[in-house]
Each structure stands twice: as C-alpha cells, then as structure tokens.
Structure 1
C-alpha cells in the first residue's frame, strides 16, 4: 500500500535493475571500442566479450543486488561468481551464524524505525508546535527523525544480506 510519504515499493527493485542494465549496456559498448579510445577508468568495467542471455539474467536478477542495491558491474559479478573474492580460495561450509546476526540486526533496525515513526511522525514537522521551537531544537528533532528514518534502509540491507547468505548456504549444500 502506498502512502503520501516516500515508500520503498515493488518499483524500487525494478529501478535498481534498470540502472544495472543501463550500466551493462555502457560497459559492453566500452568493451567494443578500440582500447586506445577507452579511458583508463572505464577499462576496469569494459566488457570485450558480451554476455549471453543466461548470464544477463543471472546478473540482472541477482537478489543480493536487485532488492536494495548496490550497483556493481558485470566484470565484478563475474569475479564474484568465479570465486575471486574468497579468502584463501576456500568456501565457508556454513554462513548460518553470520546470516542470523544480519537478520537480528535487520529486525533491530526495523524496531528502531517503527519506534521513530511513532515517536516523531512526519506530520510533526508541519505542526505549529515544531514551528514554535527554537532553531537549535528544530535541528535536533530533524536529526533524530532522519536517523530513525534511515534505519529502514539499514534494515533492508541487513535482511538482504541475510537472505543472500542463506541462499549461498543452500547452494553449497546442494552441491555436496
């Protein structure tokens, strides 16, 4: 359900995925140019061999990056899939405890966000009570409200990491 305020809705992941595909097209375009015409900072993400349909789908629908971000290039995604970010080249057998900690952190952030929404509602900033406050108190209340509001994004990140780690755990278990 949408409200008059800013909402994280089903369109947010679609916007993130659209930005990811725009970046992919630009990286493939840079990869097709002659190397002497590509800027050095673009060479890191340039893709000389375009991905196939399956790789494009895996990159675009990768849950850990589609739900709330962050944006990353296909070359970084390929490095991740190839295991280049593993410590000592070894896969952890269990990520369940890390996943549980992220989930608990996400729930705590959710509680803080809801508590802040009740304690300092958005309508407070349009009330006469707020307008009558001294300038310093307006800054203090605005800062507290901002912190409470930003907890919703921290919650989304933590729960996404939790789900990602659980997916990796199930993938590892399915391989053995």
Structure 2
C-alpha cells in the first residue's frame, strides 16, 4: 500500500492515467486479504472465534511461492480485477470445482457475459460521444438551464460507469471459461435438479444497477468484490471503534486512499458517506408511515419509481464528477455550475431536514 501511494505521487496527473499503478491496486487488495486470511487461520488454530465468512476464507497453511505467483497473476483478472480469495484459487487448482462435468454450462455462461461486456463497451463509446466532460467544463454548458445541467451530468456519469462494467463483464467471462467462478449449486424450482452456478467472480449485478432507486442499490450492485473486501477486511474489523458510522467513514477513507491522492477521490467517497447516511435515516422514518405504504400499493408507485430513478441518476452525476476531474479547481468549478446542489440536499440532513421530517410524520400519523 505504501509503495502504491508513492507510485501515485510520482505518476499521477490531472488526466485519467493508464500506468502500472492500476494493476498494483488489484495486487494491493489481494495481498491485504491474503494477510488477513492467514491471520484468521492462526486464530482458528488457537480456537478463537471467527465469523462464518472469515472461516470460509481462513488459511491454515502458508501458500508456496508458486501458488502465490499463480494467485496474484491469474491471467483473467490481474490487471483490473475482480479480486477473489486465495481459498477460491486453491479450490480451483486442486480440482474441487466441477469444470470437466459442466463444460456446456460454463461455455454458455461465459458467452453470455462476453456478449454483455461487448454490448456495454459499445454503449460506453456511444455514451461518451454524446455526454462529454469537455462540454461540461465549457462556457457553453454554463449557459444552459440548471435542470439541463443536472440531467446532463447524471447521464454522463451513468455512461461513464459503463467503462468499468464492460471491463468486469469481459474479465468475468474469462474467469468463467477458466472454471474459477464456481459458486455452488441451486435449484431453479423445487421440482428441478440442482444446477451449478458460475457467478463467484461476478463484479456487477446488472439488473440491480440499471434499476437502482437509491444509492445503496449502486453499492450493492457495482464493484461487488471490492465492496465485499471493504466490508469483510476493513469495515467489520473496525468493530472495536464501537460506532458504525465511524467504521464506514474510515472504510471509505481507505478506499479513497487506495484510488489515489487527488482531492476528487476523497470528495466522491465523502459524497457516498453523506448520501448513504441520509438515505438510511430517511427510509427508516418514512417507511413506517401509512402514506408511504399506500403509495407503493397504488398506481402512484410508477411515479414514485420515476422520481427515485431520476434522483439516483442526477446525484450519481454529482457524486462522480470529482472522481473524474480529480483536481480541486476543476471539480469545484463544475460544482459551481450545479449551484452546489448536493451539499444543499445532503449536508443539512441531520440538523435541518431530519427534525422537520420527524415533526411532519408525528403531525400526520394521528390523523390516520
């Protein structure tokens, strides 16, 4: 991690860089996870308690150099991920996965992901030709309406994310074809036979991502393996702090540091923190009201879905702008064109909007 940070300082520019630090990002997470898995293995030997997930990945024996090199430089995904546990790799090379038995299933699953990856790659190329950051930084963009600017930046962000999705789909297709992605057996229905699943290296849940109506859906569906790493190896191991929000804050801080040293990364993950914080509290308050339940049970649910979908797209643009521009002067300038709307919507939640919403709910509830 230290070597990676030195690399960022030495190589990072204001543009999107393709350098050795990109595969080194993946390498860093793999080695951190491996170190924790070995540590968990030692705890198991001493009879210390471990979570069920930690038991699945804990390692009793230290890998050989040959195993370590094979794990780190697995050809399908050492450049851009997805990351996977050494336990998965060990099961793969010791023939615990039914690769030879399920070749037809593997071929069809891999082809499906390959075609999806190519489709998203084409969509990305078309999308960035229509929605460009260069235009958003121009004086011409300033002259458009504030609503147009918000929608434009939101659609730009949505298509910008297709770059990552296409890479993950293509690498997942390769992982499936190798036979690394085995994820157990399932029944499609009670009458059917068990069928092998091959989504163990899936890094994107397409339907959840495209149908997202809150930012938690994006987190659940996007970059799944890195999110799993952050949850298992950072967030849950900060339990000693005794505060979930504090654990989440430091987890996001780690992820920002992992991406680089530019301010834009930290702003993006700060945005994620304040948005998720607001969403969870807002949902916990409003979901208890009869009005909320009635809306989702009526035809008004379609309007509500359209509103929430618009909200997620628009503010995903707000959140992602600093990540792309990286340099403070650039993303701050673009935030000014949006009149700092994200700060106005999310920052005052705890002190302004939340007390007002609680009062409104209390006033409305007795009339039910």
| Partner residue, 1:137 | 148
Corresponding residue SS for 2:103: coil
**After the TM superposition, which of the residue ranges 26-35 and 43-52 deviates more from structure 2?**
26-35
Q: Structure 2: 5+ residue runs without aligned partners?
A: 1-11, 180-368
| Partner residue, 1:18 | 28
**Structure 1 residues 13 and 38: CA distance shift in structure 2, 3 A:** farther
CA distance in 1, matches of 2:126, 2:41: 49
> Is 1:50 aligned to 2:62, yes or no?
yes
CA distance in 2, matches of 1:108, 1:167: 22
**Structure 1 residues 156 and 3: CA distance shift in structure 2, 3 A:** farther
**Structure 1 residues 104 and 4: CA distance shift in structure 2, 3 A:** farther
Instruction: Give 1:43 deviation, angstroms.
Output: 2.8
Instruction: Give 1:141 deviation, angstroms.
Output: 0.6
| Partner residue, 1:59 | 71
**Structure 1 residues 102 and 40: CA distance shift in structure 2, 3 A:** closer
After superposition, the C-alpha distances for 1:105-163 in whole angstroms (9 at most, x for unaligned) are 32322222122222122112212232233332222111210121111112211222333
| Partner residue, 2:83 | 71
State which of 156, 166, 171 in structure 2 corresponds to 1:155: 166
Q: How does 1:31-110 map to 2 (within 5 A)?
A: 31-33=41-43, 34-41=45-52, 42-86=54-98, 90-93=101-104, 95-110=106-121
Corresponding residue SS for 1:13: helix
CA distance in 2, matches of 1:97, 1:134: 47
CA distance in 1, matches of 2:28, 2:135: 35
Q: Structure 1: 5+ residue runs without aligned partners?
A: 169-176
> Is 1:6 aligned to 2:20, yes or no?
no
- Contact 1:105/1:158, CA 8 A, preserved across alignment: yes
The count of residues paired between Structure 1 and Structure 2 equals 166
- Please identify the structure whose Cα radius of gyration is greater: 2
